[in-house]
A and B are shown apart, each in its own frame.
Chain A
Amino acid sequence: MKYDVIIIGAGGAGLTAAIKAHESGAKVIVLTKEYSTRSQTCMAQGGINAALGNADEDSIESHIQNTLKSAHNIANEEAVRFLCEQAPYAVGWLDNIGVPFSRTKESKIAQRKLGGASASRACYAQDYTGLKILHTLYDKCLSLGIEILNEKYLLELLTKEDKDEKTFVYGVNVLNKRDSSIETYETKSVILATGGYSRIYHTHSTNSVSSTGDGIAVALRAGARVSDMEFVQFHPTALKESAILISESARGAGGYLLNSKGERFTNELAPRDEVARAIDDEINKGENIFLDIRHLGENFINEELPQERKLARLYEKVDPVFDLLPIKPVAHYTMGGIEVDENSQTNIDGLFAVGECANHKVHGANRLGGNSLLELVVFGQQAGENACTYAKKFNKEYNLHSELDSDSFFNDSNNEINFYEKQEFLGDIFYKNVAIKRDKDKLLTALDEILKIKKELPLMGVSDKSKTYNTNLIEFLEFKNLLQVSELVVQCAIRRQESRGAHFRTDATDENEKYKKHSIINKDGEISYED
């Protein structure tokens, strides 16, 4: 069976793209390595930005300017303008398909303030915004009869050069997790919506264990370009013990950050890069850092932040209604990703990318809270429509064939070195050396360690030989993707000898005009800079 559009990934971006492609008349299928509702999107808490002005005075222009400012001069203004102008329509659409947003007394969608925003702009559903958006999109897909195939792990994109020597995509190979068979799907276009790579930082990340950069690694191997990989956002407030996210909306509502002396030390509502650095400075002085929302009161917390309270009690054994909440910054969102144009298409014909795996250049060096859920919807719709349009015109020739055999995953495997230990080690090195504050020596050390692990890779492998639901195999494949992506992050961080947004170099603390550009990595791993 030949599809018009195959979507890899069933989080907010993938499902939005699927809905739009389907409504545009495409034959669509969604493949996900988990189940749709388990995607990273469900963990988004704070909200989705749109200048509706429901809570206070706001304008689309303010949204644009706040986003550009936070991006530190390397966002694409046209893309940001499009994102912010589309935002009210995107939220309107979510409202119309049934997302249960919280409401104001005037029966409008409730909005609250997040960091770096000049107004209360984030539309929310308590602190379950991502969960409720994701589930509503899922329900919408069901209503349209869109086929979602679960537990299919992306292995490779099938590509070929056309007669003009332009590479195009015509299929995907996935591993059926349930029986380890390889399945080939033929398609006229592919949309990657596979999420980010924060799990390089292993347990020092707010993310799901699935944020392993699979789509980015697979796209690179197929010849796609990726960009801005060095920009990794640290969320200022994760629980200290577990690295579980506590939403920025806690500070938006008036929460304070305190050090061990009980003193405030920063503007809590600055953009995340600034707040994370301020916290990092305090921690390096030997301070413990706390989030204080006690003064917001039990009613407010129960009403607006029920999940935060639940998580804090469960994972930190602290009730934020009565006590200070110990926090630390951890890796949260990866700005870098697969390079796409203004149509969400990559440099490979028919290959589109959207969501955290893509780089639409709207976040620049530092994403604004509330803009990632927005990006999923705005660019998800765009990618879905454009992939459909592309598929309708598709007339390229190819022979469908695949040489991949899953037996090779087992035969090749050797297990002298436990890759899980290396994965943990990689995470620790990244948290120490490729984190909030970087310098050349730290980065070179990290690179050295990555290269060592790469060299040792033939000594690692899958020790579980079962073909039935082999998570040891999947986790090894994910680890290899993470390793590939981690090298790019460090390489780009070494090359960018300046400080910009989330990329802060203690050996080059200012923004440098020379680097007011995007770092681009091509399929040969070469780094260049482009406007």
Chain B
Amino acid sequence: MKINIQRDILKEYEADLNDVTLLEFLQNIKTSKDSSLTYSSGCRSGVCGSCAVRVNGREVLACSYKVQDGDKIEPLRNSKVIRDLVVDMDRAYAFNQKAKAWQSKDSQNILLSQEDEKMNEVQSDCIMCSACYSACPVYAVNEEFIGPFSLTRAWRYVSDKREDSPSIKIDAIQTNGVWDCTLCNECTIVCPQGISSKADIEKLRAQSAIHGFMDPNISNFGGGFGFDGSPSF
């Protein structure tokens, strides 16, 4: 099987392997053919988020993707490439700070029901692989966009009964946040954990409205009604 890997130049690699994950293919090359090939990996079971790359333009986890003859492998977008398939995640992860994606203070034995827990069960499956961050087209126009996974993580706490100051988080995601998303849904499509940041962003928009914020992109900020009579805010 032959694949092409984007390094300084696009380079072709061949290995006598079939029905293997992309990570296994990369490991084979690294350990037996070209020790300079550089990528990240960890758990090899889809839960540590180390090995996200793009295959034929689409974000995947190398450990969870069965590599195909002719595949083109590239590093994630929107982050600085350090070498080959390794990108610097520091900037992407720093958006968690901007989104204040945490519980504001220790709660005191608040009881959560099964329904309460379900509110963010899937969102808390996030592995921070940054596939969504790479797929997000907003970064082409706004480098400061807080971004899909950080907003999902903000929702994970805003929706938690133990959070006593959700309004602080809602405040934090107004600028370069929920309203900058185009709702294109690319983040949802590439998430290996089945999380829809787009849906979470919509929920955060609804919460923002409850907290008195409005979509700054809509000029008739006084609200009003559309042609069909439905509220247009």
Contact A142 B102 (CB under 8 A): yes
* Chain B residue nearest to A239 in the complex (CB): B45
Contact A311 B44 (CB under 8 A): no
* A139 → B minimal CB distance (Å): 4
* A285 → B minimal CB distance (Å): 29
Q: How far is the CA of A66 from the CA of B139 in the complex (A)?
A: 53
> Of A97, A136, A421, A468, which is within 8 A of B83 by CB?
A468
> Of A135, A143, A471, which is within 8 A of B38 by CB?
A471
- Chain A contacts with B in 118-136, Cβ cutoff 8 A: 125-126, 128, 131-132, 135-136
The segment from A37-45, A75-83, A449-457 found at the interface with B is A37-45
> Of A39, A42, A140, which is within 8 A of B103 by CB?
A140
A102 at the interface (CB under 8 A from B): yes
Total number of A-B contacts with CB less than 8 angstroms? Answer: 155
* A142 → B minimal CB distance (Å): 5
* B84 → A minimal CB distance (Å): 8
A472 — which chain B residues lie within 8 A by C-beta? 30, 35-36
| Binary contact track A238-255/B, C-beta < 8 Å → 1, others 0 | 000010110000000000
A107 at the interface (CB under 8 A from B): yes
Total chain A interface residues with beta-carbon distance under 8 A: 59
A420 — which chain B residues lie within 8 A by C-beta? 30-32, 35
Q: How far is the CA of A107 from the CA of B161 in the complex (A)?
A: 12
B109 at the interface (CB under 8 A from A): yes
Known: A37-B128, A42-B48, A105-B114. A143 touches B41 (CB 8 A): no
A100 at the interface (CB under 8 A from B): yes
Contact B111 A107 (CB under 8 A): yes
Greatest chain B CB density within 10 A among A107, A128, A210, A471 is at A471
B181 at the interface (CB under 8 A from A): no
B89 — which chain A residues lie within 8 A by C-beta? 35, 150
Contact A35 B36 (CB under 8 A): no
Q: How far is the CA of A466 from the CA of B64 in the complex (A)?
A: 29
A418 at the interface (CB under 8 A from B): yes
Contact A100 B121 (CB under 8 A): yes
Known: A35-B93, A128-B125, A307-B47. A98 touches B160 (CB 8 A): yes
A392 at the interface (CB under 8 A from B): no
Greatest chain B CB density within 10 A among A128, A140, A424 is at A128
Greatest chain A CB density within 10 A among B90, B125, B162 is at B125
Contact A43 B107 (CB under 8 A): no
B31 — which chain A residues lie within 8 A by C-beta? 418, 420-421, 424
B217 — which chain A residues lie within 8 A by C-beta? none
Known: A101-B117, A140-B103, A469-B83. A42 touches B43 (CB 8 A): yes
B38 — which chain A residues lie within 8 A by C-beta? 469-471
B210 at the interface (CB under 8 A from A): no
| Binary contact track A459-483/B, C-beta < 8 Å → 1, others 0 | 0001110101111100000000000
* Chain A residue nearest to B41 in the complex (CB): A209
B46 at the interface (CB under 8 A from A): yes
Contact B97 A34 (CB under 8 A): no
A178 at the interface (CB under 8 A from B): yes
Contact A98 B107 (CB under 8 A): yes
A223 at the interface (CB under 8 A from B): no
A471 — which chain B residues lie within 8 A by C-beta? 30, 38-39, 86
Contact B103 A97 (CB under 8 A): yes
| Binary contact track B37-79/A, C-beta < 8 Å → 1, others 0 | 0111111111111100000000000001000000000000000
Contact A139 B43 (CB under 8 A): no
* B209 → A minimal CB distance (Å): 25
* B141 → A minimal CB distance (Å): 27
Known: A96-B107, A107-B113, A468-B83. A132 touches B124 (CB 8 A): yes
Contact B120 A100 (CB under 8 A): yes
Known: A108-B111, A140-B103. A244 touches B44 (CB 8 A): yes
Q: How far is the CA of A348 from the CA of B128 in the complex (A)?
A: 37
> Of A35, A103, A143, which is within 8 A of B104 by CB?
A143
Contact A150 B44 (CB under 8 A): no
Q: How far is the CA of A72 from the CA of B111 in the complex (A)?
A: 38
Q: How far is the CA of A468 from the CA of B162 in the complex (A)?
A: 44
A1 — which chain B residues lie within 8 A by C-beta? none
Contact B111 A208 (CB under 8 A): no
- Chain B contacts with A in 127-153, Cβ cutoff 8 A: 127-128, 153
Contact B103 A150 (CB under 8 A): no
Greatest chain B CB density within 10 A among A92, A464, A466 is at A464
B48 — which chain A residues lie within 8 A by C-beta? 37-39, 42-43, 208
B82 — which chain A residues lie within 8 A by C-beta? 178, 468-469
* Chain B residue nearest to A130 in the complex (CB): B47
Contact A37 B116 (CB under 8 A): no
* Chain A residue nearest to B111 in the complex (CB): A107
B228 at the interface (CB under 8 A from A): no
Contact A310 B117 (CB under 8 A): no
* B192 → A minimal CB distance (Å): 9
A315 at the interface (CB under 8 A from B): yes
Contact A131 B106 (CB under 8 A): no
B230 at the interface (CB under 8 A from A): no
* Chain A residue nearest to B101 in the complex (CB): A139
* Chain A residue nearest to B83 in the complex (CB): A469
* B134 → A minimal CB distance (Å): 16
Other than A100-B160, A244-B45, give 17 A-B pairs with Cβ distance below 8 A. Answer: A35-B89, A38-B42, A43-B43, A93-B106, A97-B103, A107-B113, A128-B47, A132-B125, A139-B102, A139-B157, A142-B102, A143-B100, A143-B102, A208-B44, A464-B36, A466-B36, A471-B38
Going nearest first, the 7 A-B pairs with the smallest beta carbon separation are A420-B31, A98-B103, A143-B102, A139-B102, A464-B36, A107-B111, A469-B83
Q: 6 A–B contact pairs at CB < 8 A?
A: A40-B43, A92-B109, A100-B156, A125-B124, A208-B43, A464-B36
B-binding residues in A (CB < 8 A): 34-35, 37-40, 42-43, 92-93, 95-98, 100-105, 107-108, 125-126, 128, 131-132, 135-136, 139-140, 142-143, 150, 178, 208-210, 242, 244-245, 307, 310-311, 314-315, 418, 420-421, 424, 462-464, 466, 468-472
